[in-house]
A and B are shown apart, each in its own frame.
Chain A
Amino acid sequence: MNINKEILDEIAISKFEYEEIVNKLKREPSRLELGLFGALWSEHCGYKHTKKLLKKLSDNSNDLPVKLGAENAGVIDIGNNISIVMKIESHNHPSAIEPFQGAATGVGGIIRDIFAMGARPVAILNSLRFGLPENKKNKYIINGVVAGISHYGNCIGIPNVGGEVYFSKTYEGNPLVNAMCVGIIKNNKIMSAKADQPGDLLVLVGSETGRDGIHGASGLASKTFKEQDELRSAVQVGNPFLEKILIESCLEAIKLEEVVGLQDCGAAGITSAAIEMAERSKLGLMIDVSKIPQRESQMNAYELMLSESQERMLLSIKSNGFSKVKNIFDKWDIKCEIIGKFIHKSSIDIYKAEKKLSSTPVSALTNPPLYDLSTNKPNWLSILQKTDLNKIDLPSESPKDILLQIITSPNIASKKTIFRQYDHHVQTNTVVEPGGDASLLRIKGSSKGISLSTDSNGKKIYLDPKVGTQIAVAEACRNISCTGAKPVALTDGLNFGDPEKEDVQYQLNESIEGLIQASKWFSTPVISGNASLYNESNGNSIYPTTIIGGIGIIDDANNHVNIKFKNDGDLIVVLGHSTVWGVTNDLSGSEYLETIHKRV
């Protein structure tokens, strides 16, 4: 095949990686196979720059019901035969290009990860980072993202109970849109996204497959994107109505014993979803692309395998189970087709009707080269850390004026204009509503409640990736404890710059080290997570932003507390003091420095 840089660039595969593919296959890949590799070896699916680091995290997850990274989302047992399923995921680049649909489908994607585990989604949270709101383009992105989340989440009937929003120049043109979803499930009902045995059928349900979102995982999420590039077609379009009925029908279908596994069809579409299932099942797979219901005519195998059309799920079902399964999806008027079969081989064989298009070893596809990251501390950081904040002059304005400036800055001001656009009451479990430190949901049929929070201060992580990440974990745990709950688990959303740059590598390394330590200190295991790299604004990396989603448990939700002052004359007490970097009540990374002195 005639391989040129343009083809490799389109799928974000380097020359070196192409040669690796040829080594593994002992031949040149076909164009279709190259598409599969591009998707699965993308940073987004293959975790080339983070896998070695994340392994350190997952090595600490052996006691969990589901090992970190093994399934669509993480699970934590909260007693009384109840487990919580939770994960955070980013949709940054799509939201930069098409804010409304980018954010909407970000919400849709994370919800599918949760019900793929068999869990009923009970809460959504959002961590958002934007450029400064006075800028017209940023305003357009902010309004679009919030409207997209509102549109998707409200329609689907899952309460949006919290999150956070910060504004900084560092996110200009590259907003962060991280969505977290939480689900509830009985312990013995947890699904696995795999097949049992050869002969099990691969069934696609949900939306028809169109040409939207091709190269979303590889081209869009896995390299630094340039705004002027016309990439809007790589952004998917969401249909929350379809997702709502997909949730209901899938949760109904998995009650059938004929249904073996359930898998979200997200980034890199059927390619990633199906091949991940095959890998987990230690089986091969044959797929007939002509069986995939198509939204557009004349779609070729490459497009069908790589489309990221939304609101699709894959099921693995027993060979005799199709008619029972189809009955359920028929009831909901949802398309349901057999598109393949698990086989006693170790390859993915793609057919178009009778014609065999390719046969590729699963292990080659799922084992991209893994890169070591530099641990060298960048010079600029050493210099920055030596800044003596005592040398900064006190401002000339009165303390009252300074206070007013700080509390009216967009970062500190109330976010009600945003969260009142999200339904936070549906499902009638919301005990502590958005607007406080963390939210609290009761669990019907039990006295227990769960508290949820997302936190991160990119400025502090920028100043010290390790300590800054620990501060984020501590903040999430503190916020949860402010509802009366005890923190029990974390999910992490890594949002970093270009991992091919040394200083970003250092930031990643340090941040994950910090996360591992902090999660041990607080006895809060990291049960799931997501990495979004190549986030850059005007050629500079964004602040490294490790967003921590936390969950806590309260044994009796009636005993919750909230942020409100209760009575006239009550005393206000400050508990504890912050000592960071050996300095008590340290100001670095504070809103005061940013608002008043325009520096971190």
Chain B
Amino acid sequence: MNIGIVVFPGTWSEKDCFYSLSNINKQFCEFIWHKDEDINLENFDAIVLPGGFSYGDFLRSGSIASLSPIMKKIKIYADEGNPIIGICNGFQILCESNLLPGTLIRNNNLQFRCEWSNIKVTNDETIFTSSIKKNEILSIPISHGEGNYYADKKTIDELENNNQIIFRYSDDKGYIDQFSNPNGSINNIAGIINKEGNILGMMPHPEKACEEIIGGADGNLIFQSLINSYNRPV
């Protein structure tokens, strides 16, 4: 696969995403500078919006990046049905760009949280979870101060009814309740897809969990799902 990894000023997980997708998963990766207006996104089979603090999260997380030149192109790329993964700040940017519904507000504990979280895979029929079984529990780190997913009831109902909530915070047995929720997200939402199923936004960092030596490789299952889906289109 040809994977483009977008870099905004303040992005910091672009190199981690590159390492995971290129060094570990042997895909061809390229950084895309946010001001690059000449780039042709059609050359890419998927785009990653990595984590970090684009524009220092000034104003609202992801809000300034959502107005950056590259996002115009990404909206077209998204409308054409191409795969996009937004991780952490990338998720926030996708919400600010209206490519995904809802928003990420301040954690309900009012603190930044960095820890290994368990997420339960609640939909395995997506290009991002095709190599994972439904109800499997993945251990993947979170690292955010604003990961508390919020949307109005109508939007949440829609997400639930369309099976768009694909990851939920749980305990290591898969039990979902307020104690396994690190940030107060509605219905323990950790990751959602759009209705068409080509855009994923998730707060946990799969790129930080791709090798046993750094604590586990569950995150890599998400990347492998994407790669396998590309190689064997459904």
Contacts and interface: CB of A to CB of B under 8 A. Distances in A.
Contact of B57 (A155, A423, A424, A444): A155
B13 to A, nearest CB: 7
A429 B214 contact: yes
A422 B114 contact: yes
A424 B214 CA distance: 11
B13 A157 contact: yes
B19 A421 contact: no
Nearest to B16: A428
B214 A239 contact: no
B81 interface: no
SS class, residues of chain B in contact with chain A = mixed
B52 interface: yes
Contact of B12 (A331, A426, A429): A426
B112 interface: yes
A218 to B, nearest CB: 30
B103 to A, nearest CB: 20
A325 interface: no
B19 A444 contact: yes
B69 interface: no
Given A240-B53, A332-B9, A333-B9, A426 B143 contact: yes
Interface string B199-214: 0000001011011011
- Chain A interface size band reads 20 to 34
B113 A428 contact: no
A420 B113 contact: yes
Contact of B208 (A150, A245, A425, A557): A425
Contacts of B52: 157
B56 A155 contact: yes
Contacts of B143: 154, 423, 425-426
B195 interface: no
Nearest to A240: B56
B10 A244 contact: yes
- Chain B interface size band reads 20 to 34
Contacts, number: 87
A275 interface: no
A430 interface: yes
A557 B53 contact: no
Contacts of B207: 428
Contact of A241 (B19, B58, B210, B211): B58
B148 to A, nearest CB: 16
Interface string B109-130: 0011111000000000000000
Contacts of A279: none
Nearest to A428: B16
Interface in A141-177: 150-151, 154-157
A423 B114 contact: yes
Contacts of A157: 12-13, 52-53
A422 B211 CA distance: 21
Contacts of B58: 241
B208 A154 contact: no
B12 A420 contact: no
Contacts of B90: none
A265 to B, nearest CB: 20
A593 to B, nearest CB: 34
A431 interface: yes
Contacts of A150: 111-112
B72 interface: no
A42 B19 CA distance: 46
Given A154-B143, A428-B210, A428-B214, A241 B113 contact: no
Contacts of A87: none
Given A241-B58, A421-B111, A425-B114, A155 B16 contact: no
Of all A-B residue pairs in the complex, the 3 with the closest CB atoms, nearest first, are: A241-B56, A157-B12, A155-B53
15 contacts: A150-B111, A154-B114, A154-B145, A157-B52, A241-B58, A244-B10, A331-B33, A421-B114, A422-B114, A423-B143, A425-B205, A426-B13, A428-B16, A430-B214, A430-B215
